[in-house]
Each structure stands twice: as structure tokens, then as C-alpha cells.
């Protein structure tokens, strides 16, 4: 017979309050988390949930000696191999906390659907985290200075959630949501004012020791998108409107081919090559004035430097291309309302134009060699987050 251990013994200091038992199953070499939670309405259900993709035979109710569901209760059992305890343990905390968050107010079928979604989408998110970990180990690409992008974090200590902002990757939506969680009305706030208000409401920690301690506790997530799509979005949203106007002249003088063109607005090609040059210069010499002064703009700053995925263990790395599923997962896990739905990887879209079409249109203004330069500049962003320089959502550039 399996024996149980209180989770609090194994997870001392966790802010999760869900009551649960860890059941060790020696015969099937699995670890199961087991919880009973009372429903608001009378229901009789038993949900047996077990992973079957590790080469182990399916786990049955009989093999677990799980009693029949009792009226008014739902019973949840999840199983994974012993060898994956360390990697899977935090997910179990997340899964059971999410059940705790909505169980009392949810119909039985909604609970089962949500648990099924959590399990399925967790495997997608876990594969992203595993991929990032493997790339970091191979490249040994660690941040040299942990303070370099630390102020990009928003931390809500009351709700135990931390978010690293990557500009042009859904950041305004998530910043707005953080403010609304804290009771700040954002209805009349423009995008320009939004981030200033958020920084005042959620100031970054000022002491490194405090920062390190806080990072251990919250649910941490960040959001990325295809690097080429992000560059196109940054250009369309910023440059024609005069953003960083003092840099426009340099972009034109350095990269304009047609010297008879008197336009004062840089083309996408001129802007993209300028951004790539900044990033490459900084990556080659982190002590350069450009890097030390933080002169690479946040809207085209590489993810790997700004949100430090090789130094910080995230619970979720979201992608704009899977925005809906990712935000649903975060909502179920935290019990918090998440931003409204957006189209996958949306770029200030024109009527009748897709994100892929817009991205391709702008990239076609560059030569193959110039596209390769962009790829080299954002190489770690491509590799870490498993993007291809030739494809966007399966569409060939």
C-alpha cells in the first residue's frame, strides 16, 4: 500500500496553502499528488490523472487503491515517475493551487476540462523551459551583471506574481493588468503614461539582496515573440512617429543606399540594420559605453539580456504566438484575471493583412546578407526560444 506525506514537509515556506498529500507508489515507481476538495453543489466524481509518456504502464484506480468518489467531493490524483520529481514538483503545486482557486465556484465538467487543459498545456510550457535550460547549459551564456535589466521586472508581492517585461511582446497589456489587479483604473491612461504609472506602483527592489530573495518566491513569467516580428512591430509603432528622432539622422547616413532620397524618416531596412549594429557591438564587448549606459532601446533590446532566462528560473515563458492558451494557463494557475484576447503575434495589423504577410513585406526590403545580419544579432533569442529565421507560424519567409 502507498503511504502519504504532508506536502508542507517537502515544501517548507511555500506560499501555497492548498491541503494535499503526497503518496509514494513503490510498485509503479511513481509519485502521486492527491487532494479532495468539497464542491458547492452535490456531485460524485473521481478523476484519475496519470502521465503515460514515460514508458510506464497506465496507472489504474485499482493499482492506486483509490476509494470511490464520495458524494459532494471530487478526488484528483496525478502521477509522474520518481525520476521527474524535482522538475514536476513545482507544476503540482501550481496545478493543485489552481484547482483550489476555482474549485468552490466551478461546475464539475469545468473543473475536469480545466485540469485536462492544465496538464496538456503544461507539457508545452515545460518543453519551452527545458529547451531554454539546455541551450543555456550548452552556450554557458550567463548574464554578467544581474542589475543590467532588473528594473524590467514588475513584482506584485501581495499576489505572489512577477513579470519581466519585453517591449513589443504584449507588455502594455500585462502592465495594464498588473495595475488593475492593484485597484488602479487604467481606462483613461494612454500607453505612453501607462508604464510610468506602473513603475511608481511597482517599483523595482533597490537592494540586490532583497531582489534575490524576492525572486525565489513569486510565480515568475515573461513573454517573447518572433524576433523579426518584434522588429517590424517596433519600427511600425515607433520610428514613423518620431521616436528616438535624434538617432534617425545616423540611421539614414549610415545605411541609406539612395543618397538622393531626402526623406527624414528612416526606412525599415535602415532602422533594422542600425538596431542590429547596436546589439552586435554590445554582444562583442559588454564593457563598451553602449552597453554600460544601456543605450540599446528596450523596444529592440535582446530578450536574453533583458529578462535573463539563463539566470532566472521562470514558471512560464509565454509566446505571443500562443497568447490565448498561455494567458489561460496563467489565469488558472494564479486565480487572477488576465489580459483580453489578442490575435497571435499581432502587429498593428492593417485590414486584410496577416502578421506573416506584414513581416515578410518588410523583410523583403533587405538582402539575404542583411537578413543574416539581423539573425546573427538576435541569434540567442532565436535559439533560446526555438524560433526559425525562415519561418513564422509555419510560413516560409
Q: Rounded to whole angstroms, how far apart are CA atoms 296 and 227?
A: 15
Q: Evaluate if residue 49 carries a pLDDT over 80.
A: no
Going 51 to 54 to 59 to 65, the CA torsion angle's sign is negative
Sketch the domain layout of the chain as residue ranges: 3-116, 150-396
Q: Rounded to whole angstroms, how far apart are CA atoms 252 and 271?
A: 8
Q: Evaluate if residue 223 carries a pLDDT over 90.
A: yes
For 269, half-sphere exposure in the C-beta direction (CA atoms, 13 angstrom radius) is 17
DSSP 110-146: HHHHHHHHHHHHHHHHHHHHHHHHHHHHHHT---S-T
Across residues 308-327, what is the average pLDDT? 89
Helix (H, G, I), strand (E, B) or coil at 396: strand
| Bridge pairing between strands 21-25 and 3-6 | antiparallel
Angle 305-310-315 from CA coordinates, rounded to 5°: 110
Q: Quick: pLDDT tens for 227-285.
A: 999 999 999 999 999 888 889 999 999 999 988 888 999 999 999 999 999 898 887 76
Q: Evaluate if residue 37 carries a pLDDT over 70.
A: no
User: 339: closest CA among 323, 317, 351, 354?
Assistant: 323
Q: Quick: pLDDT tens for 61-82.
A: 444 343 444 333 344 444 444 4
Torsion of CA 230, 232, 238, 241, to 10 degrees: -160
User: 220: closest CA among 169, 282, 295, 156?
Assistant: 156
Q: Evaluate if residue 195 carries a pLDDT over 50.
A: yes
Residues 94 and 42 sit within 8 Å (Cβ to Cβ): no
| Chain mean position to CA 186 | 23
Q: Evaluate if residue 371 carries a pLDDT over 80.
A: yes
For the chain, how many residues are written? 397
| Banded model confidence at residue 15, pLDDT cuts 50, 70, 90 | very low
Amino acid at each position: 500500500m502507498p503511504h502519504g506525506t504532508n506536502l508542507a514537509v517537502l515544501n517548507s515556506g511555500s506560499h501555497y496553502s492548498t491541503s494535499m498529500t503526497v503518496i509514494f507508489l513503490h510498485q509503479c515507481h511513481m509519485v502521486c499528488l492527491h487532494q479532495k476538495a468539497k464542491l458547492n453543489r452535490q456531485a460524485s466524481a473521481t478523476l484519475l490523472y496519470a502521465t503515460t509518456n514515460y514508458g510506464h504502464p497506465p496507472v489504474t484506480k485499482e493499482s492506486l487503491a483509490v476509494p470511490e468518489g464520495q458524494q459532494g467531493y471530487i478526488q484528483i490524483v496525478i502521477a509522474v515517475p520518481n525520476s521527474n520529481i524535482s522538475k514536476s514538483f513545482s507544476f503540482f503545486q501550481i496545478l493543485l493551487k489552481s484547482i483550489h482557486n476555482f474549485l468552490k465556484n466551478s461546475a464539475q465538467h469545468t473543473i475536469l476540462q480545466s485540469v485536462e487543459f492544465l496538464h496538456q498545456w503544461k507539457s508545452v510550457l515545460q518543453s519551452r523551459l527545458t529547451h531554454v535550460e539546455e541551450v543555456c547549459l550548452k552556450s554557458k551564456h550567463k548574464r554578467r551583471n544581474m542589475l543590467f535589466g532588473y528594473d524590467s521586472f514588475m513584482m506584485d508581492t501581495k499576489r505572489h506574481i512577477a513579470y519581466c517585461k519585453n517591449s513589443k511582446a504584449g507588455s502594455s497589456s500585462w502592465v495594464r493588468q498588473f495595475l488593475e489587479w492593484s485597484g488602479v483604473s487604467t481606462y483613461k491612461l494612454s500607453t505612453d503614461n501607462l508604464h510610468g504609472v506602473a513603475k511608481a506602483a511597482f517599483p523595482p527592489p533597490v537592494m540586490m539582496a532583497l531582489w534575490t530573495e524576492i525572486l525565489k518566491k513569486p510565480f515568475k513569467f515573461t513573454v517573447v515573440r518572433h524576433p523579426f516580428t518584434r522588429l517590424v512591430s517596433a519600427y511600425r509603432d515607433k520610428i514613423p512617429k518620431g521616436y528616438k528622432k535624434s538617432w534617425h539622422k545616423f540611421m539614414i547616413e549610415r545605411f541609406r543606399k539612395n543618397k538622393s532620397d531626402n526623406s527624414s524618416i528612416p526606412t525599415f531596412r535602415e532602422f533594422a540594420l542600425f538596431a542590429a549594429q547596436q546589439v552586435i557591438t554590445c554582444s562583442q564587448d559588454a564593457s563598451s559605453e553602449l552597453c554600460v549606459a544601456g543605450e540599446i532601446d528596450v523596444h529592440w533590446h535582446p530578450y536574453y539580456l533583458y529578462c535573463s532566462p539563463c539566470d532566472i528560473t521562470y514558471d512560464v515563458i509565454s509566446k505571443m504566438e500562443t497568447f490565448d492558451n498561455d494567458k489561460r494557463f496563467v489565469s488558472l494557475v494564479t486565480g487572477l484575471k488576465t489580459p483580453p484576447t489578442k490575435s497571435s503575434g499581432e502587429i498593428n495589423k492593417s485590414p486584410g493583412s496577416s502578421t506573416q504577410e506584414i513581416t515578410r513585406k518588410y523583410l523583403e526590403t533587405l538582402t539575404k546578407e542583411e537578413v543574416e545580419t539581423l539573425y546573427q544579432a538576435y541569434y540567442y533569442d532565436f535559439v533560446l526560444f526555438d524560433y526559425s529565421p525562415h519561418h513564422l507560424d509555419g510560413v516560409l519567409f
